Chain A
């Protein structure tokens, strides 16, 4: 593991902070500690916000959960909506959904993948990739892209819009909808909706293919740089379908070594805790998951597009599978292990999502009317796992006989990537910042590495920490609203 996690004499070092990390979702900051020669001694990505979802969801009736938990994340609410629904399917013994329900949920999910990947690439990252990492700050946003590359910006915005329309039609609302319910869905696609979506889907497939081309060209234009930027070796984890195919809605867990050897395969996610453990570090609210059998130092891994593309045996849609093979073969697999390879892999997945949506729209069962599975035997717990845009997402609930949640554990995609993101920024710090005068452009290099993972930092904030501080909050009239402080044992005292 990289040695830049903890410096020996932090008080003697100069601190530089990137605060907040921007063009990512949620709240994070990076701190760098440098010595007098500008040598980098410590680099950390801190997740600075507290939520406590797992706790306050306790006592709520289970059927509320799929709607509530979406409020963890407004970029990928559908992922939480569906992971929680899958957990509740299991709780009620309704895991075998009707074909109409299964297909409408998949349509919602792939619509989400399409919109989220488009948003991430075009709205958030394209400025770095198309203008350069140390280009002018004022230009580095979607407005700058719209001025310099109007066609690219337009297609990005419309791809996202199309994905959002699918979500609106299947979930009822573009953000925080209610379409999926325990055991099925509450509506299927109508004839008119299907027709409207079919009218545009071929354009979306071809624009997605173009997007893959954009990243490919970038790699070609500066091969050395793109392959080595923030590069590090990591294991990978994702769901795969029974036949080894990529399936972002359902499957079993597969983990691979750096050299591709399987660590485990087709592991039933309903027992995920047998293979995944979590570590805590005092400087971040985000936990550090690892493969339990390998321990925290060796067992950390990558999730998300890069992990999924190299983990699966094939992609079950033709254009995306062709792109997958090209990606894996590129320069003897050098792109598939590159931090910036995430962008390429993500665009291949966006293409797969578009192709998948096309197939679902051609399937008459998408209009089916049998929406709820027959109830089976009730279990005390439900586990739902899905491949969210950013990676494997785990929801786990225990529910009592009165239908109330008594325990919840969530491991969100970005949390799985915690160690990997820290590794990436430490590499970048060594490659580009070490020993140099730090400039804004250099600091943006760190953010570029974080953005490659498409982190969703608000999803990843479960809980709170212990700070040697005291705070008081006053209202507009100077009236004290609340105050909080800590005792030395780390017990939180609130008055």
Chain B
């Protein structure tokens, strides 16, 4: 049987969802018998190829996040929003009511202890969006895994259900939103 190709990315997230994925611990050795990783921050594949499954942590806070998300949508048959940030923006979206210029000024110009305040402006830096957006506002998302982060057991159940050709299902003991 061909192994399932899986890519993962972290956008405007804290990496906690990836950490929770790795908290499947020794089950990872079993997983890789059925799954082959494409682009992911835990390996050195930097561009996503044709994949069966894409797992995305974090919402969208800048232009680069949007590019990566669109690329993933194009290449992945099934695309999953993993965790609160991907689903509704999560904690980073708490900046949404505040105009960006206010945040910018305070952090780079207004603070005591900064010798030469300057607002970073290099073309190498992607442009931030004025608000943090959840993934499904920009592309179609096939599955949502709630939690901040979803527990390793949720991620494990999701993957093993998919691998077995079942519709993923979670009992109340697995589903949580914190």
Q: Which residues of A contact B (CB under 8 A)?
A: 17, 19-20, 22-27, 29, 31, 44, 46, 48-52, 54-56, 68, 70-75, 77, 119, 123-124, 137-138, 140-143, 146, 153-154, 157-158, 160-161, 164, 173-176, 273, 276-285, 287, 292, 296, 409, 444, 447, 456, 458, 462-471, 473-476, 481-484, 486, 490-495
Contact = CB atoms under 8 A, between A and B. Distances in A.
Contacts of B45: 22, 137-138
Contacts, number: 268
Q: With a 10 A CB-CB cut-off, give which of A138, A287, A465 has the most chain B CB atoms.
A: A465
Interface in B4-46: 10, 12-20, 22-23, 25-26, 28-29, 32, 37, 41-46
Interface in B138-161: 138-140, 148-149, 151-152
Interface string B96-123: 0011111110111001111111111111
B120 A55 contact: no
A465 B26 contact: no
A113 B43 CA distance: 23
Interface of B: 10, 12-20, 22-23, 25-26, 28-29, 32, 37, 41-46, 60-64, 66, 90-92, 94-95, 98-104, 106-108, 111-131, 133, 137-140, 148-149, 151-152, 178
B123 A176 contact: no
22 contacts: A22-B45, A48-B125, A51-B95, A52-B98, A52-B107, A55-B102, A56-B103, A75-B19, A123-B22, A124-B42, A157-B26, A158-B26, A164-B25, A175-B19, A176-B16, A280-B120, A444-B44, A462-B107, A464-B100, A467-B123, A482-B129, A494-B99
A465 to B, nearest CB: 3
Q: Is the interface of A mostly helix, strand, loop or mixed?
A: mixed
Contact of B41 (A20, A50, A164, A491): A20
A202 B130 CA distance: 51
A74 to B, nearest CB: 2
Q: Which of A55, A273, A447, A476 has the most CB of B within 10 A?
A: A55
Contacts of B115: 277-279, 296
Contacts of A175: 16, 19-20, 23, 149
Contacts of A292: 113
A431 B108 CA distance: 34
A51 B13 CA distance: 10
Contact of B129 (A44, A176, A409, A484): A484
Contacts of A71: 14, 16, 90-92, 148
